[in-house]
Amino acid sequence: MDINSTVNKILVSIKMKGEVTAASLADELGMTKEGARQHLLKLEKLELIQGKAKSAGVGRPVTYYQLSSKGLDEFPDSHAQVTIDLLNSVRNLLGENALSLLITDREQRTYARYKAALESDITLESKLNKLAELRSNEGYMADWKKEDDAYYLIENHCPICAAAKACQGFCKAELKNFKQLIGEEYQVERVKHILSEDSRCVYKITSNG
């Protein structure tokens, strides 16, 4: 995907935010609302996005645009079929225990690498900044936000979704690593999951104190 083109910037924006309006897109990309609307209508005609009108109280309903299944395909898994084939080969030739050992090894190496990267980060927000950066570099399109007393680590894409569907041990390992990295003083729970048909994976982080 050429992220420099306007069309792909729009697709990336929708992927990151879940949904956009013509007005919010115009503000983000520095264009007129009518210009943004024309781009959205073009993408809707190409079946890359789909619009849904929502009532916002007084006045006309506002149309919110989300990625369609075809639009989501613009953000593919990395080497999906090859990964699935390899996992199935390990399972068939060596058994489930060997597959568990493979996932555990990956989990431990990922944890060690992340722990080293977060070594100088003391506050929760600095840890989330670093985690979002690390995960984004790996294709997860990660970000974080704070709402009231809770923090949310958001992964807008899963570059290993096909592998995770074939073996959900990858998702369990990911959650375990986040809990260890963020620390015992916080509770970390996955509240949205791409494998549960959500548009993104979201981890809610709250203080145990």
pLDDT of 57 over the 80 cut: no
Tallying the residues shown for the chain, one arrives at: 209
Pairing outcome for strands 150-155 and 201-207: antiparallel
Write down the CATH number for the domain with range 80-207.
3.30.1380
**Out of 1.10.10.10, 3.30.70.100, 1.10.645.10, 3.40.50.1370, which CATH number does the structure's domain 6-72 have?**
1.10.10.10
Can you list the pairs that 59-67 forms with residues at least 24 positions away whose Cβ atoms lie under 8 Å?
Answer: 62/21, 62/23, 63/21, 63/22, 64/19, 64/20, 64/21, 65/14, 65/19, 65/20, 65/21, 65/40, 66/14, 66/18, 66/19, 66/199, 67/11, 67/14, 67/15, 67/199
Give the model confidence (pLDDT) of 127-152 as tens digits: 999 999 999 998 899 999 999 999 99
Instruction: pLDDT band for 82, please (50, 70, 90 cuts).
Output: low
Give this prediction's pTM: 0.72
Using an 8 Å Cβ cutoff, are 194 and 161 in contact? yes
Average pLDDT, stretch 10-28? 88
